[in-house]
Chain A
């Protein structure tokens, strides 16, 4: 109970911390002329036009509401002047109320749905979680008749490995994983930076690492030349060995704290997701971001409808609305990730379109990136065990005195209690 509550608070705080940073928008190469351009664009976006207004009137007076469960800071909220408040626009257009809540990790989403007791109509999990949910019948097939705007989704983001027939999901955003580093302290040309920088002893104690096994293992697996979707137990063990080796130089295992730590200069190197990296880079010009040439993970977050959804058609309407060019543009402009939506992509500024961080060239994507798919339960379990083992392993000098002293302490306390009782008993007799 407490655990859940606290993690929700944590998410809230993170969200608050991010909110402050997200206002500055993405871009990376923000020259002054771009600002005015952007203003014009967003002013355009504010007068929302939808492709088929008739379609959205279906539930106008039905007074229904849908529960949308999304990542934190993952939708345009209209907080910045001139941007679109997507959820309230949807309500205005369709009369459907949106209950919007956040989660911080795919696993949190999974645990929430698996535990039952919560009913959602639209969720936005990532690739591997989608395939896991399809396998466990936790999401239901979509009726694409109700989602005509699916036509905007680029061909190379359809029928992905996690949903081969593309019947369960509509891609929302995508991105890659790369390395954020402090350009002033790490004097390397961009194309020489690769994952082994995260193992570099010269920067001992200045390196941050993912605090989630799937992303951390992926990096080690790429370095060892394995597939990031490997289920081979020897390969997993070898990746874990590689991560254990890294532990000596790692300052901490973190997720969203990267924003703070990299921003404040507490660490020099950290792996992170490209979209968030742009947000961090925007605030601190000493930082650089590189997508390692030896390959990386390409992640896709896609909209799905859970099996128990109460308002399936309204949920499909919401998904369709999210794929309206204006809405998709407003969202992508706000969250800084990359879009699989052709029309929204066309609306982006040239310098964003040409930014190799957000939109690496197609050859690189097809040759050097891999999308996660779900691992078998056995492989997941092994990965989790290896991860726990790696993280709980201690420096040896600490371990040698810890247990003995603790045991002596326990013994001492017990003996003291016993003696004290004896004395008390004797006293009572007299």
Chain B
């Protein structure tokens, strides 16, 4: 009973700011602007299938790159001496101390046609390349912004892998490849799944990254939703329907992800 009381503030918070808005999203998605029930909004989402596919595709790529980059880093981090780990972790977190939009804004100047990167390439006789306003730039923005969300869960899981377990594996004749795939990867699976979730979900729903780095012509689902509210025709019902479809897609993907977790560590 006592425990329940302690959780009350969060439960109230959740009810007011998560559950009620979700119900409102569902309500708007399933009504027309006169408030009558309709499924037209949901079926209208179908015409934006290519935007959905692109969003999922770009966030899958970004998530995969994050995983590939973060995995060795997290492992090295977890094997360092304790006091060094603190410093390194701080360096990983450092970019997050600055506002996400400012960081993305900085990439705009870095990647520009006359930006720093093209300027440096020009010094050694290369380029200029078209870097900004491409889908590659959008993926880069996602990777840059969400990489810490991959490193942190991986690190916290790997930190718990006892050194003696790895030694025992080698002792019993495991090659280093086998240690990786038979011991480290299975033990870090919960970290991998929560890392993937934490990168994939914000990446698929982002809109400001694609606006700033995609030049407005790499529309993602987030942009599409924003356009329904702040675009030429104000259509909250369609906006809500797109959000709802996006939530269902995320739900599906997270369910698939959870199949990989050991049963006692399921996220949802």
Contact = CB atoms under 8 A, between A and B. Distances in A.
A268 B207 CA distance: 26
A111 to B, nearest CB: 5
A264 interface: yes
Nearest to B243: A3
Contacts, number: 127
21 contacts: A3-B225, A6-B208, A10-B101, A13-B99, A13-B102, A114-B234, A115-B236, A205-B113, A212-B232, A213-B231, A260-B109, A266-B113, A266-B114, A267-B113, A381-B233, A381-B235, A384-B231, A394-B54, A399-B50, A406-B53, A417-B256
B215 A253 contact: yes
Contact of A107 (B17, B207, B230): B230
B183 interface: no
Contacts of A388: 48, 219, 224, 227
Contact of A214 (B101, B232, B234): B232
Contacts of A402: 53-54, 57
A206 B232 CA distance: 26
A399 B133 CA distance: 17
A266 B112 CA distance: 6
The 3 A-B residue pairs whose C-beta atoms are closest, nearest first, are A252-B215, A253-B216, A266-B112
Contacts of B48: 388, 392
A6 to B, nearest CB: 6
Interface in B109-125: 109, 112-115
Contact of A252 (B207, B217, B224): B217
A383 B233 contact: yes
Interface of A: 1, 3, 6-7, 9-10, 13, 105, 107-108, 110-111, 114-115, 205-206, 211-214, 247, 250-254, 257, 260-261, 264-267, 377, 380-381, 383-384, 387-388, 391-392, 394, 398-399, 402-403, 405-406, 409, 413-414, 417, 420-421
B108 A257 contact: yes
B56 interface: yes
B21 A1 contact: yes
Nearest to A105: B230
Interface residues of B, number: 49
B226 interface: yes
Contact of A409 (B60, B135, B231): B60
Given A265-B114, A402-B54, A421-B259, A254 B231 contact: no
Contacts of A251: 113, 133, 215
B144 interface: no
Nearest to A211: B216
A111 B230 contact: yes
B109 A406 contact: no
A257 B256 CA distance: 40
A110 B231 CA distance: 10
A253 B215 CA distance: 5
A206 B128 CA distance: 13
Contacts of A6: 101, 207-208
Nearest to B54: A402
A35 B212 CA distance: 37
A295 to B, nearest CB: 21
B53 A110 contact: no
Contacts of B108: 257, 260
B51 interface: yes
Q: Considering residues B214, B224, B229, which has the most beta carbons from chain A within 10 angstroms of its beta carbon?
A: B229
Contact of B234 (A111, A212, A261): A111
B259 A417 contact: yes
Nearest to B205: A2
A388 B51 CA distance: 10
Contacts of B229: 3, 107, 111
A403 B56 CA distance: 11
B64 to A, nearest CB: 10
